[in-house]
Amino acid sequence: MARDTDIRLQQQVIYSVYVRSHTPEGTFAAIIPDLDRIKALGTDIIWFMPIHPIGEKGKKGSLGCPYANRDYRTVNPAYGTMEDFRRLAEEIHARGMKVMIDVVYNHTSPDAVLLSEHPEFYWRDAAGNTGNKIGDWADVIDLDYRVPALWDYQIESLKMWAEIVDGFRCDVASFVPVEFWKRARAEVAQVRPGCLWLAETVHRGFGIYARRLGFCSARDTEAFDAFDMEYEYDVREAFDEYLKGEGSLSRWLDLLCFQEAVYPENYNKLRFLENHDLPRIASFVRQERDLRNFTAMLYFLKGTTLIYAGQEFENDRCPSLFEREPIDRKTGRDLSALMAELARVKREVLGPDDDFTARGDDDLHIAVMERVNADGRKLGVFSLRSMSGNVAVDLPDGTYENVLGGSVAVKDGLLRCQGDPIILRG
C-alpha cells in the first residue's frame, strides 16, 4: 500500500459521473445544479469519467468512446470549455467535495495529438504497425512505456491537471508499469499534496491472460505500492457468478476474508455493485427489498464505496459509452435516503481500521459480516433474497438496536432475520 495513504478513505463515498449521460444537455455546466443532490447522498468525491476530446478515427457508435482519448491536455468541446470545467470543480470544492478525473494512460485514439507529435511513444507489432496488444479495443492504440520520454510527458500532464483536481482514477492501471505510477505519485504530490490515486486493476483471469502473452499486468499486491485504492476485480468474478446463480454466496464471502488476510494492513479496495463497465445491479436484483439489502451490504464492506450515477434511481440499464443516453430519474424508485443514511453509518459507526470477517448461509442467501476495532464490534446481516430465518451470531442474548431502524432479538445465540438489512453495534 502507498505509505502515505489516508486510512480515512475507508469511510468515504465516490460518485461516478459520465458527463455525456448525466443530464439531457451532457455538459459540465448542466451538472452544477445537481451538485447539492449528489452531496446529500453522502458523497465525498465526484469521479468524472474521461473528459478529454474523443478520437474520430475508428470511433465506436455515433459519438465515440471516452476511453479513446485524443488529447490529454484539454477537454471534450462537446462538454464545454476548460473554463467551464474549472468552474464545475470550484463548485464541487465549495460544497466540501473533491474532484477526481479519469486518466487513460495505457492507450490513445488512433488520431491522437500525441501520435502526430511523438510517434516514438507508441507500441508497435512485429510489422511496425501501431495497435493494441490485448482485447477487442479496435478504437485505440497502445503506448509504449519502455520509452523514458513518454513518462515525462504523461507526468507533466498529470501535474497540469493536479492544479485543478484532487485525484485520478487510472484506467487499466495494471497495464502501465507500477514504477511509472510510483514516480507520478511522488511528482504530483509536489503540486497537489494528498492527491488521491485509484487504480482500475483488472480481473484475475484477464491479468493472467496478459502475462501469459508476455505483457505487463501488475498484480494487485504490486499496484498497492503506488495507489490508495484499487478495484475489487480480484474477487469480482465470484460475485458475478453468485448474481447469475452460478456460484455460492459463501465462496465470494470467503474471498473477501482472503483479501483481509493477504493485503497490507491499510489496504483499500473500491467496493461497488455496478460501474460503467458492468451491468446495473438492478438488472440482476429486481425486488426492492433485496436491493436495499445489497446496498446496505455494499456500504458495510471494508473499503471506499462507489456509486455509479443512476444507481440511486435503480436504473437497470447502463448508458451506452458510445451514445448520449441520459440516466433515468423518473423510475418511481429512489434509494437516496437509504444511501445517505448508510454514508452516515459508514462515517460514524464503521471504523477505518476495522478487521473484517464474513460468512454466508447459502440456503437463506444471508450474508453475516463482522467488523471489529478498539471501539467495539459491528455486525451486518444482509438477506440478499429478503428471506426470513435464524442466523447464528456471537452475541449475548438480548434485544439490539438496528442502526438502520427498529430492533432485533438474539436468543440462544440465534438472531431472527426478518428480511430487512441489519447493522448492529455488538
- What is the predicted pLDDT for the residue at 181? 98
- What is the predicted pLDDT for the residue at 306? 98
Mean pLDDT of 212-221: 93
- Band of pLDDT at residue 198, cut at 50, 70 and 90: very high
pTM, whole model, 2 decimals?
0.97
Mean pLDDT of 234-238: 97
% of the chain residues with pLDDT over 90:
96
What residue has cell string 511509472?
180
Enumerate residues 6+ apart whose C-beta is below 8 A from 281.
Answer: 243, 273, 274, 291, 294, 311
How does pLDDT run across 9-49, given as a tens digit for each residue? Answer: 999 999 999 999 999 999 999 999 999 999 999 999 999 99
The yes-or-no verdict on residue 96 having pLDDT over 80 is yes
Higher-pLDDT residue of 137 and 124 is: 124
- What is the predicted pLDDT for the residue at 134? 83
Cα separation, 377 vs 351, in Å, equals 10
Mean pLDDT of 367-384: 97
- What is the predicted pLDDT for the residue at 377? 95
Cα separation, 176 vs 223, in Å, equals 10
Name the residue among 154, 173, 161 with its Cα closest to residue 220. 173
Paired with 122 in beta bridges are: 143
Enclosing H/E stretch for 262 = helix 249-262
- What is the predicted pLDDT for the residue at 40? 98
SS3 assignment, position 265: coil
> What does the DSSP 8-state code read for residue 11?
G
Mean pLDDT of 76-103: 98
- What is the predicted pLDDT for the residue at 89? 98
Q: H helices within 95-190, ranges in order?
A: 113-117, 148-162, 178-188
- Band of pLDDT at residue 136, cut at 50, 70 and 90: confident
Mean pLDDT of 163-178: 97
> What does the DSSP 8-state code read for residue 320?
P
Average per-residue pLDDT for the chain: 96
Burial class (CB in 10 A: 0-12, 13-18, 19+), 236: middle
Q: Which of 132-141, 194-203, 374-383 has the lowest mean pLDDT?
A: 132-141
How does pLDDT run across 340-356, given as a tens digit for each residue? Answer: 999 999 999 999 999 99
- What is the predicted pLDDT for the residue at 138? 84
How does pLDDT run across 251-284, given as a tens digit for each residue? Answer: 999 999 999 999 988 899 999 999 999 999 999 9
The yes-or-no verdict on residue 151 having pLDDT over 70 is yes
- What is the predicted pLDDT for the residue at 128? 95
- What is the predicted pLDDT for the residue at 137? 81
Q: Which residue type sits at 113?
A: V
The yes-or-no verdict on residue 1 having pLDDT over 60 is no
Cell of 395: 452475541
- What is the predicted pLDDT for the residue at 413? 94
* Phi then psi dihedrals of residue 93, to 5 deg: -60, -35
